[in-house]
Structure 1
Amino acid sequence: MAMSSEGQLYLVGGVDYKCYLSDIWVIDTKDEKLEWKLVEQKCNLKGRYTHDAILIDEKILLFGGGDGDWSASFDKIDAFDLNSQKLIQIQTLPDENHGYPHPRKFHSSVKNGNHVYIIGGWSKNNITLINSEENATIYGDVWKLSLIINEDKKFYIWTRTLSNLKMPLFFHTSAITPEGCVYTFGGCIDAESMYPSNKLQRFWVQPPELKQIAAFKLLIKNTHLIEEFQKREVKRLREKMEEQHNTTNQLKNSMKENKSEENFQEGDIEEGLHEEIEQNLRELLQTKPSRMFCGY
């Protein structure tokens, strides 16, 4: 799935108990009534699953995937243009030394600006790579597809990055932080037994800031700081909740004293209090690193 900048959620392809799917559905998340709508297509997309859909330059690019016998290549990428509402095919340029990524399924993808990273995966072929089985290959490589804009021309260029997973994986999931750190979790490390992994792997797609490096080093050598910070924040939130509770009681008593019971709704005050507490928790989660190291 991929989300447009206007809040439209697109679902492309997949599989059911009968066949591999190629249809495109959209739902507008801004509508009060959430309703799926089928996008009409003049030319059919080849059915596929285990692919990734990434939005870049107002186009939903489909990376990898396939059916039981076929895997999509990475030299020409199928895409859905949101502006024209048509399927197109994007010709990409290879890495100067390594060419294109091998076709694969069950990989993961993350986006960082105008760059898309393809991580790991699985393919059924005769290519001999890391962790190659008789009929399958598990990948631990990381590839980057970059959108390069030069005046009125646009190029999509592949780069084989220097990053590698410590354990080749497929069926895993990945996420990227705003600072450019990719975390990869789970997946399978053995194509025969499908043995699942519970390991968390990490790599950077861009150099971290010095404050980020210092923060990691500080926490590694002083793990007690996290516990102290959590205790301090719990105490601060508890005190704030008690203060809000006292303020609410004072407001209730004041309204009763003024004989405003007929217009007085306790539920409204309590609902507003809960919303404010939830907002405080969200702000705490968003600002936790800076709060920890700025002494707040």
Structure 2
Amino acid sequence: MTDARGARSLDQLNTFERLSGRPQPGDTPAGRRTPPARSGHRCVADSTSLYVFGGYNPDYADPLFRELWRYHFATGHWQQIQTQGFMPTELASMSAVLHGNNLLVFGGTGIPFGENSGNDVHVCNVKYKRWSLLNCRGKKPNRIYGQAMVIINGFLYVFGGTTGYVYSTDLHRLDLTSREWIHLKPNNRPDDLPEERYRHEMAHDGQRIYILGGGTSLTSYPLDKIHAYNLETNSWEEIATKPHDKIGFPAPRRCHSCVQIRNEVFICGGYNDEVILADLWKLNLHTFQWSRLPAVMPEPAYFHCAAVTPTGCMYIHGGVVNIHENKRTGSLFKIWLAVPTLLELCWEKLHRSFPHLANLPALQLLNLGLTQELIERLK
């Protein structure tokens, strides 16, 4: 089955694929390394690469990973990026978004958790590989971790999180142009706010910010209703979602992952106080209908990270996979959440069939018929 663009149907592509770095000719042993197993890290994606930052693993002498990794889609190759400037030291349960070429990292905690948390915005330009500290005005949020954030029309919104002792319902906004923080005060009664929480996720439709799941160390919040902050009315609303017609609502969860493609939001994995989850759900932000996708994570995980490419391919990395043994993984999986174009399918087939393509000079690639855009993705 094909769509109008000539691509296979989503049902044929809606499965997880395990990925591993493919060594390239001339690689050093260090160049063939992959990120160690970890949890509490974050990742973002653009059209060429997945960027993985931070994380935690108590099995190591230095359990916090003060490092930035890149997984290059075209070559299937991992590389630890050597950056300049001051990399953050709060490396677990920070929040991260990609804004153009800039990776924005806010909050997070060191060890002991909650004793060494941050409230600065660090920026890494992934093109020039340089970190800088964003000098901001106004009252910054508290030093927190486990919060979530989104960028809407040049404003960075941060909600929730914990100091390690107190969970928050605070909502802050940073103007990325003037660099001024504002603590937003919604027009709701104190008893009409979302529950305090951390390790939730957020989505938005330009008018509302939606809070998905999360919880405290003792509970996880359900998804039959979700809270939404209305930017126009400066107020919180509670929205009833619609269940799957056969299996109902997704299980309550925290420490899950979430990505968004236009008006569709996808949540994956997490923990519900009983088991580690492996399911994949979709929420339509127009109808608020939940749908469960047939794909299941090969490794149930929580405290993992996920990001989606502009073309609709989701990558999932790491996380805790065994509660009793406190075991983490370094596995990387991908799954198509949108029907890829024929160009994307051919592009994947090309660099799988010719893995050394990236080693050819740009002029030779042009002579072979590749466009400048594809060469930039390859390089």
The Cα of 1:110 is off from its aligned counterpart by 0.3
TM-score (norm 2): 0.55
Partner of residue 156, structure 2: 9
Equivalent position of 1:117 in the other structure: 266
1:158 aligns with 2:290: yes
Do the aligned residues in 2 keep the contact of 1:2 with 1:60 (CA within 8 Å)? no
Instruction: State whether structure 2 residue 185 is matched by structure 1 residue 40.
Output: yes
Alignment correspondent of 2:315: 183
In structure 2, distance between residues paired with 1:203 and 1:170: 17
Given that 2:222 and 2:251 are in contact with CA atoms closer than 8 Å, whether structure 1 keeps it comes out as yes
Matched-pair contact (CA < 8 Å) for 1:26–1:36: yes
Cα-to-partner distance string for 1:183-226 (whole Å, 9 max, x where unaligned): 11111111122322111100011221222112212211211112
Of structures 1 and 2, the larger Rg is shown by 1
Q: 1:219 to 1:98 in 2, by over 3 A?
A: same
Of 165, 170, 175 in structure 2, the residue corresponding to residue 18 of structure 1 is: 165
Q: CA RMSD in A?
A: 2.4
Contact conserved, 1:23 with 1:45, CA < 8 A, in 2? no
The aligned residue for residue 103 of structure 1 is 252
Provide the rounded CA distance (Å) in 2 between the counterparts of 1:208 and 1:222.
20
Cα distance in 1 between the residues matched to 2:375 and 2:248: 42
Q: Which has the higher contact order (CA 8 A, sep 6+)?
A: 2
2: CA distance, partners of 1:19 / 1:80:
22
Measured against aligned partners, the alpha-carbon deviations of 1:62-81 in whole angstroms (never above 9, x if no partner) come to: 11101122211101001111
Q: Given the alignment of the two structures, is residue 54 of structure 1 paired with residue 222 of structure 2, yes or no? A: no
Moved more, 17-26 or 137-146: 17-26
Query: In structure 2, which of residues 219, 227, 238 is the aligned counterpart of residue 78 of structure 1?
Result: 227
Deviation at 1:290, TM superposition (A): 5.6
1:141 maps to amino acid? D
Q: Deviations over 1:79-113 (max 9, x none)?
A: 11111110111111111122110001110000001
Find the partner of 1:200 among 323, 328, 332: 332
Structure 2 counterpart of 1:232, which letter?
A: A
Does the Cα contact within 8 Å between 1:95 and 1:157 map onto a contact in 2?
Answer: yes
> Does the 8 A contact of 1:143 with 1:159 survive in 2?
yes
In structure 2, the CA distance between the partners of 1:18 and 1:5, relative to structure 1 (3 Å rule), is closer
Query: What CA distance in whole angstroms lies between the structure 2 residues aligned with 1:181 and 1:224?
Result: 23
Relative distance call for 1:170 and 1:287 in structure 2 (3 A) is farther
Identity %: 29
Is the contact made by 1:119 and 1:142 (CA closer than 8 Å) also made in structure 2? Answer: yes
Structure 2: 5+ residue stretches without partners: 1-147
> Between Structure 1 and Structure 2, how many residues are aligned?
223
Task: Give distance in 1, aligned partners of 2:327 and 2:315.
Answer: 20
TM-score by length of 1: 0.70
